[in-house]
Amino acid sequence: MSTNKKSSTLSEIAKIAEVSVMTASRALNNQPGVSEEKRAEILRIAEDMGYVANRIAQRLSGGKSRVIGVIAQLHTLYTSDLVLGIGSALRSSKYEMLVYSLSDTDSQPPQAIVSLLRQFVDGIIVILPFQSDYLVSLSDADLPIVTIDEGPHNNFPKIVADNYQGARLAIQHLANLGHRRIGFISGNNQLASARDREQAFRDMQAQLGLDTDPELVASGNFLQQGGFNAAKELLRLSDRPTAIFAANDISAVGAMAAIRDAGLNVPEDISLVGFDDVAVASQIYPTLTTVKQPSAQMARAAVNTIVAMIAGIEPASSIIVLPTELVLRASTRPLGEVVAMPNSKRPRHIKNRISPAG
Amino acid sequence: MSTNKKSSTLSEIAKIAEVSVMTASRALNNQPGVSEEKRAEILRIAEDMGYVANRIAQRLSGGKSRVIGVIAQLHTLYTSDLVLGIGSALRSSKYEMLVYSLSDTDSQPPQAIVSLLRQFVDGIIVILPFQSDYLVSLSDADLPIVTIDEGPHNNFPKIVADNYQGARLAIQHLANLGHRRIGFISGNNQLASARDREQAFRDMQAQLGLDTDPELVASGNFLQQGGFNAAKELLRLSDRPTAIFAANDISAVGAMAAIRDAGLNVPEDISLVGFDDVAVASQIYPTLTTVKQPSAQMARAAVNTIVAMIAGIEPASSIIVLPTELVLRASTRPLGEVVAMPNSKRPRHIKNRISPAG
DNA sequence: CGAAATAACGGTAACGCTAACGTTATTTTT
DNA sequence: AAAAATAACGTTAGCGTTACCGTTATTTCG
């Protein structure tokens, strides 16, 4: 067993091995210029003393820190899923992850964090980049940046889910159930994901011949309260929708509360579909039909991209789109159906395939 | 406006100000030994050039990095709440926070992260320390450590909620509603919080003369699936409980699913109480009566403690206990009551006061 | 077999900063 | 007015590491 009470330095193990620090450095970094015997001995001694290289010093002397910075708002499950995914994708690499958690009111980190990251990390993954001005200065400083989802003026390589197709699947599903009057609760339109979902809604309205009153679009903000308020608006309409598609699950949860608050039931009176498939979607009652984002794959793609960029390889494409799929649960039902429907024990999954717009 | 394209160094601004680097350093660090005119000029030039001190270099030369490391499992809302709270408590200090996210299967970070933190951060806050062996080596290396909640062999200053009293409030509430046969879904007994809640349950069983069959305690693990399975067990009892107290909200959500799965309803057939008051508690249907942990205050206390420790002040007490309170929602109801109860619009809060055990 | 290439090292400087000690002038003290 | 204290600087060294350029021996080649 190695003891590492006092974290030994390179010069210490060099002294014990009776070599120069440079030889020790070369041996430990697997670089040429050391005989095999010396290398083995140095490695043995280092192991013995529990030596771990000081990454602060390595970084200062011009090297890499092998740390990836992640900037995220941690108070939503969806974001946490991605962070966890990044962590596990990174586990098989030689990089570590440190996360800066944006508060729910901030759209960008304080200047101190920005310069700290610039000084310390080798690359940055930004989840839901509501704002990206501050990222430009980092990028100018040769720091590789990858974003998950797309914010305004986002010229960095980005990983996104196929929000447009996912939303189409959701609307198609509601239409298949006979719904013609479908309300939409929008998200935060700073994000391309929100815009894409809304665009899909509008396109499908036209394509499928759904009701198109402008009042059928209520603006949310991806938060529960926003979903609640938006649903309230939709329910106040004289001719109220028979189904609602919320731009994300949290909005849908808010909408569900609003619907219940109005004395109505999901799905008996109103069908409801969300987006993301966060944990709460399968935990609430009724369980929520939603569009699943491939967060694990997105995280992996982000990691692969940033690692490649750190290695100096420019990514082949500046955007990677991953497929979404519809997850059917208990919050949707055919229009007008009155027969009691047992809780479906296991949700069915529908792959992201839809006939092209004709 | 200051431009900071290339992040200038101390020697650069020293050259421009025509002083030595030390004078510049002293001026910028507000230390004596510089005339007021020079100080002002140096500050002006630094501002002009957008100078920010390199914390990597500061750290290497023996100083502080002004970074607090946070170790947490990010996939539960409760933990995220605490992380967010730590972030905002830190915002008014001169420290920044970087989070290492433990995967859901790991109870301790990899060695690489441990040594990285040791080299870089000034102090560490650990949330839910399932395991703390690895922390001892950090503490030996003079790194201040504070934990939120208490793990095994935890000799570090710790911030905890009053789990015992909170659990008592919950049981008392159920007993007040007439329940005598109350089931308990335990948590992860590695954590003192889990043990305290269970102890309170057992103590109250005796004190209030409740049913005490051993089968009334089912073991969960603070996770939804664990709560689901535990509730299934409780429901299989020939004489099944009329109320269930789950050691945390996520277990309670799992229990709710199990209850529904068995064709029963909350609260008509079974009253249910959770612990934590995470967001989902007020989002599910029926909304969950639970014990609220003061996460914002806990976060603030942790920050105050770690900052004091970094400043060399040993904390007055090695444990800070903060009060919990019962939040009444829709998942509990008097035993045997059949009258329809409207959703209470606004939950009532009951302060953590209970008559002393007599 | 002498010149050139190679392998295996060591020394020095640098990354950006600060602690610790010098070195001057300018005050203050007695 | 000489000695002592103080203020305002500058110089040097060092944090732990690596890049770059030596310096030796040993090998390779024409």
Separation CA B97–CA A110 (nearest Å): 11
Locate A34 and state its tokens.
Answer: 């050391």
CA B29 to chain centre: 34
Answer yes or no: is A165 CB < 7 A from strand C: no
Cβ(B188)–Cβ(B195) below 8 Å: no
CB of A43 lies under 7 Å from some atom of strand C: no
Q: Which of A87, A79, A141 is nearest to A279 (CA)?
A: A79
In terms of Cα–Cα distance, which of B142, B131, B5 is closest to B64? B142
**In sequence order, which ranges of chain B are alpha helices (DSSP H)?**
10-17, 21-28, 36-48, 55-60, 77-91, 111-120, 133-140, 163-176, 192-208, 224-236, 249-261, 279-283, 295-310
Tokens 């710790």 map to which residue? B158
Q: In angstroms, what separates the C-alpha of A75 from chain B's closest C-alpha?
A: 6
Whole-number Å distance between alpha carbons of A215 and A235? 11
- Answer whether residue A145 shows pLDDT above 70: yes
* Cβ-Cβ contacts under 8 Å, B285 against chain A: 256, 260, 284-285
Separation between the CA of B19 and the C1’ of D10 (whole angstroms): 9
- Residues 6 or more apart whose Cβ sits within 8 Å of residue B40: none
Token duo for residue A145 = 């940046």
Portion 332-351 of B in contact with A at CB < 8 A:
343
Contact B120, B165 (CB under 8 A): no
Contact B126, B145 (CB under 8 A): yes
* Distance between CA atoms of residues B196 and B91, nearest Å: 32
Chain A residues inside the 8 Å CB shell of B120: 55-56, 120
Q: Which two tokens stand for residue A263?
A: 């004395």
User: Cα distance from A203 to chain B (closest Cα, Å)?
Assistant: 31
Compare all CA atoms of chain B with the CA of A142 and give the residue at the minimum distance.
B6
**Residue B275's pLDDT is what?**
98
User: Which whole number is the average pLDDT over A30-37?
Assistant: 93
CA B64 to C1' C23 (Å) is 30
In chain B, residues 15 through 54 whose Cβ sits under 7 angstroms from any atom of nucleic acid strand C: 21-22, 25, 28-29, 51, 53-54
- Residue A98 with chain B: CB contacts under 8 Å: 98-100
Q: Number of helices (H) and strands (E), helices first, in chain B?
A: 13, 13
On the 0-12 / 13-18 / 19+ scale of CB atoms within 10 A, A6 is exposed
Kindly state the percentage of chain A with pLDDT values over 90: 80
Cα separation, A39 vs A46, whole angstroms: 10
Q: How far apart are CA B335 and CA B270, in angstroms?
A: 9
Per-residue model confidence (pLDDT) at position A137: 86
Compute the distance between CA of residue A207 and CA of residue A325 in angstroms, rounded to an integer: 20
SS3 of residue B297 by DSSP? helix
State the pLDDT at residue A106: 87
Q: Label residue B147 exposed, middle or buried (CB < 10 Å: 0-12, 13-18, 19+).
A: buried
Taking the CA atoms of B43, B48, B50 and B54 in sequence, report the sign of the dihedral they define.
negative
Q: In this structure, are residues A272 and A231 in contact, taking their beta carbons and an 8 Å threshold?
A: no
User: From CA B244, how far away is CA B182, in angstroms rounded?
Assistant: 5
Q: What is the rounded distance in angstroms from the CA atom of residue B310 to the CA atom of residue B64?
A: 9
d(CA A117, CA B120): 13
Residue with tokens 């230390």: B31
Sheet of B217-218, strand order: B217-218, B182-185, B243-246, B271-276, B289-292, B325-328, B348-350
Pairing of strands A67-73, A123-127: parallel
Strands A325-328 and B123-127 turn out to be unpaired
Among residues 173-212 of chain A, which lie with CB inside 8 Å of chain B? none
Q: Are B270 and B263 in contact (CB under 8 A)?
A: no
Q: How many A/B residue pairs have CB atoms within 8 Å?
A: 139
Q: Which nucleotide is nearest to A34 (CA to C1')?
A: C8
* Chain centroid offset of residue B271 CA: 27
Contact across the interface for A100 and B100, Cβ inside 8 Å: no
Q: Which residues contact B342 (CB under 8 A, 6 or more apart)?
A: none
CA–CA separation, A178 vs A171, rounded Å? Answer: 11
Nearest DNA or RNA nucleotide to A20 (CA to C1'):
C10
Q: Which of A283, A344, A345 to mutate to probe the B interface, most B CBs <10 Å? A: A283
From the list A60, A103, A260, which residue is nearest B57 (CB)? Answer: A60
Q: What type of residue is A73?
A: Q
Q: Which of A338, A352, A296, A336 is nearest to A159 (CA)?
A: A296
Mean pLDDT within A293-314:
96
Listed by number, the residues of chain B in 56-95 with a beta carbon closer than 8 Å to a beta carbon of chain A are 56-57, 59-60, 67, 74-75, 77, 80-81, 83-84, 87-88, 91
Mean pLDDT of chain A: 91
CB spacing of B59 vs A57 below 8 angstroms: no
Judging contacts by C-beta atoms under 8 Å, the chain A residues touching residue B60 are: 54, 56-57, 60
Select the residue of A97, A99, A283 nearest B280 (Cβ to Cβ).
Answer: A283
Within 10 Å of residue A223's Cβ, how many Cβ atoms? 19
- In this structure, what token pair is assigned to residue A49? 């003393």
Structure tokens at B339: 């009258």
Let me know: does A352 contact A162? Beta carbons within 8 Å.
yes
Which pLDDT belongs to residue B323?
98
Q: In terms of CA atoms, which chain B residue is nearest residue A74?
A: B80
| A121: closest chain B residue by CA | B56
Q: Which residues of B touch A90 (CB under 8 A)?
A: none
* Chain C nucleotides near the protein (CB, 7 A): 7-12, 14-20
Judge whether residue B350 contacts strand C, using its CB and a 7 Å cut-off: no
pLDDT for residue B6 = 63
| Predicted local confidence at residue A347, as pLDDT | 47
Instruction: Tell me if residue A171 falls in helix, strand or coil.
Output: helix
Any idea which nucleotide's C1' is nearest the CA of A14? C10
Query: For A59-108, how does the pLDDT look when each residue is reduced to its tens digit (9 = 90+)?
Result: 999 999 999 999 999 888 899 999 999 999 999 899 999 999 998 888 89
User: What span, in angstroms and rounded, lies between the C-alpha atoms of B241 and B218?
Assistant: 12
How long is the CA A124 to C1' D13 vector, in angstroms? 36
Tell which wins on pLDDT, B87 or A151. B87
How close are the terminal C-alpha atoms of chain A, in Å? 68
Interface test mutation site (partner A, options B2, B8, B49, B116, max chain A beta carbons within 10 A)? B116
**Interchain contact B110–A (C-beta under 8 A):** yes
Domains and CATH numbers, chain A: 10-53 (1.10.260.40), 67-161+296-322 (3.40.50.2300), 163-292+324-350 (3.40.50.2300)
* Contacts with A68 from chain B: Cβ below 8 Å: none
DSSP one-letter code for A314? P
CA quadruple A302, A307, A310, A311: dihedral sign: negative
Distances (CA, A) of A144 to A70, A121, B102: 12, 10, 24
**Pairing, β B271-276 against β B243-246:** parallel
- b/e sequence B265-284, b meaning 16+ C-beta within 10 Å: ebbeebbbbbbbbbbbbbbb
> In this structure, is the CB of residue B176 within 7 Å of any atom belonging to strand C?
no
Residues 6+ apart with CB under 8 A from A175: A182, A204, A208, A210
Place of tokens 């793990």: B151
Find the angle CA(B30)-CA(B36)-CA(B40) to the nearest 5 degrees: 75
Asked if B57 CB < 7 A from strand C, the reply is yes
Q: Which of A51, A46, A70 is nearest to B115 (CA)?
A: A51
User: How far apart, in whole angstroms, are the C-alpha atoms of residue A254 and residue B86?
Assistant: 27
pLDDT along chain B (358 residues), means of 10: 64 95 96 94 96 96 95 90 95 94 89 94 95 88 93 91 98 98 96 97 97 97 95 97 97 96 96 96 93 97 96 91 98 77 46 44
Query: Which of B7, B256, B283 is closest, CB to CB, to A118?
Result: B7
CB B81 to CB A75 under 8 A?
Answer: yes
pLDDT given at position A345: 40
Best mutation target, B61, B86, B98, to test chain A (most A CBs within 10 A): B98
pLDDT at A2 over 50: no
The residue with tokens 């201040």 is B144
User: Residue A314: exposed, middle, or buried by beta-carbon count in 10 A (0-12, 13-18, 19+)?
Assistant: exposed
Question: Would the pLDDT of A339 be above 80?
Answer: no
Instruction: Note the maximum CA span of chain B.
Output: 88
Q: Are B101 and A99 in contact (CB under 8 A)?
A: yes
Option in A56, A87, A116 nearest B60 (CB): A56
To test the contact with chain B by mutation, choose from A8, A58, A98 the residue with the greatest count of B C-beta atoms within 10 A, namely A98
Residue type, position A24, single letter: A
Q: Which nucleotides of D are covered by protein (CB under 7 A)?
A: 7-12, 14-20
Cα–Cα distance, B329 to A157 (Å, whole number): 46
**pLDDT of A337:** 63
Predicted pLDDT at A349 = 53
Tokens of A110: 């304080």
Which chain A residues are Cβ-neighbours of B103 within 8 angstroms? 84, 87-88, 91
Q: Do A100 and B101 touch (CB under 8 A)?
A: no
